[in-house]
Structure 1
């Protein structure tokens, strides 16, 4: 029986140990152990006849013991979805261990150093098919161009055939390895917002003051680089401080972060030197668009770029997704106190107390010109604004995991649903009505303590009032239900990972840093 089988598949069976029992399969060529709990591969227990070994989604964290005496005929090795990331793992992926390897799957691992990994893989003489998507370094602009040019023997990358035109476009990128930094550049664009209800549509009979103005903006959080200087400012809890810091100095900070990162790279490995004084740390920062007044279609046209050097952190962030929120800012404006009013009030009080006619002259002594000036002042009063009142109207979660899986762009129309918010006029009407009914009830109570006839009348009246109250409540609820019937609120959002389309484009972007 052992000499009969050439393929053995044990998938998702909680296998944790590979013992020497496998050596009994003398003709075994394909071994599939996906989705198990294997943390170590004792190569002495693997049949030398193996050509295909699949170890996807196990608990491998190192390749040390796996490469001491690997199967010499192995052509396919699947290591995807394992915690492989170290330089030692990279050094074990060379022709010294895998001389006949044709296909290698390293997808969804944790490799971040693209130049070092490609340098090791370039030694595999028979490698034709390679899968790298899902690794943090694939989020960088240099991927996949740098990989295509660094591995000329490769025919297929991430499930797609490499064309001659693609090789031509990326020719020369491999020679720029000393300038390539594994950092990602993500651009987030917020476009048009539709479906927000008009906040002033129900305020036709509102008083002149206070003057109420509404504005709207979009907020979301994204991962970005952060230096110690910006860390202190961004740690403030004040919203406006964060907004100014992230908006006003974002371009300068991003450029300084680029220069800082390049200055602290070790020339031999391209790894960030944490001992240097200039540190770059990734953090989740909140970005806010500019504020717009209400319209049926508000076009924010807000584009913001985020530079991230922590590619592992970016991979986790993208897999978790992005939360987008629509915010409303309400400002109440009141007439400023006039300079004439404080002087007029004492004179009016004197007149009321003493009753003297002579005291009326200070108030009436003003000329017609002064009166006309006062009228002008009243017609266009100076307004004083209260502190803005902000509230969240709704939020939505946008999955971004496809960017980790190889997509360069996520273009989505976010649907936040209808905003079920009662208008303030309806709420005020209901409160005033309830107050009035309560006061009428209290006024009737003393009379109820009188004779029986009075009590009966009052009982009848109170029943009538109760019916009226119920009717009014029904009306208010009906009005509010009508106001809730709104169309869904939608927001246009695009998240794009910047990718080099050619070697010439990369050269133009990197040339300023090379000359500096």
Structure 2
């Protein structure tokens, strides 16, 4: 009921457009405004040429939008010159092209048959889900149904317009084997140009086998389909359709045909899977982490790595439950934050539930999922070259297309490890140094340890090895993250090569740097307070010796304060963090290259 109320018929939209032409109103049609031989001299009339100017003048209020049909402006001129001809049948028969775009049309009703001389019908960007061919004029030569809601071609291929030469079905949910069966020469004998771009065709060999029966086909658009991500595209298409002159808006040359000659005869080499290579190169612009380390802090080491998400192929046993499948898919997700993990899990859930392919019904279950991947870890330097290269083989071409359309997120992460001296028995032996200092500073008595023999001293030295360091659990934080669009790989590009600019990172913007700065500031205030109290006690006389230590601390505090301020002042001039990143699809450049790449895999 709601569907019927919300449906918009094509005839209703066309009638409204014709009414907006105002063929019977000023300055068109009959009226007192027309100057004729019988018009009284005192009547306010307009010359025909003046009336025609009102139709075409850019600033005229009687100039109407006529882009929906190239015949609309001419029809208005006829309404000025010979209005007596404009009866209903004449108007309908006058139109040869109609372009109704973005009007939410959902129903093509039989009123379209009134346009008995219609040759071109453009209905892009509407809500049409079914095309009744009996409602299409038999004179139609061009039919464009791009970006609608078509999900099947079975209804369109009955009682087709026999003269149809151009058909555009791009950006629709087409791609089933049943759709392929309706794209043959038996259904479209006169078809010269076909647009199937941005659909969901995955079976490359089956589709090309059907299209090869279109003997008149000269122009074909296939980019945006999942199978175009495979290495065999466009070579296999070029050799399979020798009658083509233009593929994906590019004219085919004789040299290109020669490169792929013979590839169609070796169809056993064609595999509908994609090979994508991800590379992470040099990273610049990360501030030196040692600038914010306190001298009294434990040993601190920093490492940096790049994480990114990518779709990959997984194979699991059918006996595994769903939880085990997801655990198998989480390859390196421990390098992501909670927010990133949630996003990845959502993508995995969507991909794994929608893109399932069963290769062997009894033993295995194959699917593709988006998971996290990481480079190796490097210590800080002004320019860190990760030289990370990873190739992913993906059988789920539909899932790969959706992934490329969405793009991926790349993240720079920092790993900090705190190391502390390990507790041992030797440390307890050395602890008496504290009371020794007390006795020494008290009455100047000789320490009992000093009275020991030289042999004992040597033994003590031997008992003091280099202290071992115990590492805390790594502390990881995300420095910056960036989204990288990959949609161009779907629309024909072979490689995306970008220098990602993640912006300048201020050292004090991190939580760790803020904590360090607060601690330094607190220490500076305490040292200044002690120094001030010491001055008040000592007066203007000679300063006691034991004040030298606080002075040194205060001096150190001033140095730290200067470092903090210098850090704040220079952070404004920091260069932005940049990452070299690229994704490249494998594409065969010739038939011989295809043999060289595939035969070793088959022999193994």
Could you state the TM-score of these two structures normalised by the residue count of structure 2? 0.68
1:498 maps to which of 560, 569, 586: 586
User: How many Å separate the matches in 1 of 2:326 and 2:105?
Assistant: 49
SS of 1:65's equivalent in the other structure is: coil
- Listed one character per residue, the Cα deviations across residues 389-442 of structure 1 (whole Å, up to 9, x for unaligned) are 11110000000000000000001000000113318577435235448879999x
The residue that corresponds to 2:369 in the other structure is 283
**Aligned-residue offset at 1:509:** 2.2
Query: Is 1:405 the counterpart of 2:495 in the alignment?
Result: no
Is 1:227 the counterpart of 2:315? The answer is yes
| Misfit runs of 4+, over 6 Å | 346-350, 435-441, 474-477
| Equivalent residue number for residue 367 of structure 1 | 456
Alignment partner, residue 314 of structure 1: 400
Quick one: structure 1 residues 157 and 479, their matched pair in 2 at CA, closer, same or farther if it must change by over 3 Å?
same
Q: Relative to structure 1, is the Cα distance of residues 130 and 429 closer, same or farther in structure 2, using a 3 angstrom cutoff?
A: closer
Instruction: Tell me the SS of whatever aligns to 2:206.
Output: helix
CA offset at residue 98 of structure 1? Answer: 0.2
1:344, 1:363 within 8 Å by CA — same for their partners in 2? no
Pairing 1:331–2:421 present? no
More divergent stretch after superposition (2-11 vs 189-198): 2-11
* Contact 1:430–1:476 under 8 Å retained in 2: no
1:80 is the counterpart of 2:167: no
Pick closer, same or farther for the CA change 1:210–1:358 going to 2, 3 Å: closer
How far apart, CA to CA, are the structure 1 residues paired with 2:586 and 2:231? 5
SS of residue matched to 2:261? coil
SS in 1 for 2:413: strand
Alignment of 1:510 with 2:598, yes or no, is yes
Q: 2:303 aligns with which of 205, 209, 215?
A: 215
Deviation at residue 146 of structure 1 after TM alignment: 0.7
Counterparts of 2:361 and 2:177, CA distance in 1: 19
For residue 135 of structure 2, the aligned residue among 45, 53, 59 is: 45
1:137-148 mapped onto 2 (5 Å cutoff): 137-148=227-238
Summarize the Cα distance change of 1:224–1:5 in structure 2 as closer, same or farther, 3 Å threshold.
same
Deviation (angstroms), 1:211: 1.2
1:305-341 CA-to-partner distances (Å, cap 9, x unmatched) read: 1111111111111011110000101111222234322
CA RMSD of aligned residues (A): 3.4
Partners of 2:449 and 2:105 in 1: CA distance: 103
Tell whether the 8 Å contact from 1:179 to 1:514 is kept in structure 2 after alignment. Answer: no
Change (3 A) 1:420 1:361: closer
The answer on whether the counterparts of 2:284 and 2:577 sit within 8 Å (CA) in structure 1 is: yes
Report deviation, 1:289: 0.6
Q: CA deviation at 1:164?
A: 1.1
Query: Structure 1 residues 409 and 40, CA, compared in 2 at 3 Å: closer, same or farther?
Result: same
Report the CA distance shift for 1:236/1:301 in structure 2 as closer, same or farther (over 3 A). Answer: closer
Write the mapping of 1:164-175 to structure 2, written as runs, cut at 5 A. Answer: 164-175=254-265
1:482 matched to 2:598: no
- Confirm or deny that 1:114 pairs with 2:204: yes
Q: In structure 2, the residue corresponding to 1:333 is in which secondary structure?
A: strand
Give the corresponding residue for 2:56.
none
Residues 174 and 196 from structure 1, CA distance in 2 versus in 1: closer, same or farther, beyond 3 angstroms? same
Give the number of the structure whose alpha-carbon radius of gyration is greater.
2
Structure 1 residues 12, 368: CA separation in 2 closer, same or farther (over 3 Å shift)? same
The Cα shift of 1:150 comes to 0.8
Shift of the 407–328 alpha-carbon distance from structure 1 to 2, 3 Å rule, reads same
Report 1:246-325 matches (<5 A): 273=359, 275-325=361-411
* Counterpart position of 1:17: 107
Q: Is the 8 A contact 2:332 2:374 kept in 1?
A: no
CA–CA distance in 2 between the matches of 1:437 and 1:381? 34
Q: Alpha carbons of 1:319 and 1:234: their partners in 2 closer, same or farther (altered >3 Å)?
A: same
In structure 1, what is the equivalent of residue 250 of structure 2? 160
Q: Indicate the residue corresponding to 1:134 in structure 2.
A: 224
Q: CA deviation at 1:273?
A: 3.9
Q: Structure 1 residues 66, 240: CA separation in 2 closer, same or farther (over 3 Å shift)?
A: closer
- Any idea what SS the aligned residue of 2:156 has? helix
Q: Under a length normalisation based on structure 1, what TM-score does the superposition of the two structures give?
A: 0.79
SS in 1 for 2:365: coil
Displacement after TM superposition at 1:482 (Å): 2.1
Summarize deviations over 1:444-472 as a string: whole Å, max 9, x none: xxxxxxxxxxxxxxxxxxxxxxxxxxxxx
Q: Which runs of 5+ in 2 are unaligned?
A: 1-90, 318-323, 337-356, 439-444, 530-560
Q: CA deviation at 1:373?
A: 3.3
Could you say if the C-alpha distance between residues 303 and 425 of structure 1 is closer, same or farther in structure 2, counting changes exceeding 3 Å? closer
Superposed CA deviations along residues 6-26 of structure 1, whole A, max 9, x for unmatched, are: 111111111111111111112
Residues 512 and 26 of structure 1: CA distance in aligned 2, closer, same or farther (over 3 Å)? same
Q: For 1:324 and 1:142, locate their aligned partners in 2 and report how far apart those are by CA, in whole Å.
A: 29
Deviations 1:212-266 (A, max 9, x none): 1111110000001011179465456975699xxxxxxxxxxxxxxxxxxxxxxxx
Deviation per CA, 1:86-145: give whole Å up to 9, x if none: 111000000110001000000000111111100100010100100000001101111111
Q: How far apart are 1:476 and its partner, in Å?
A: 9.9
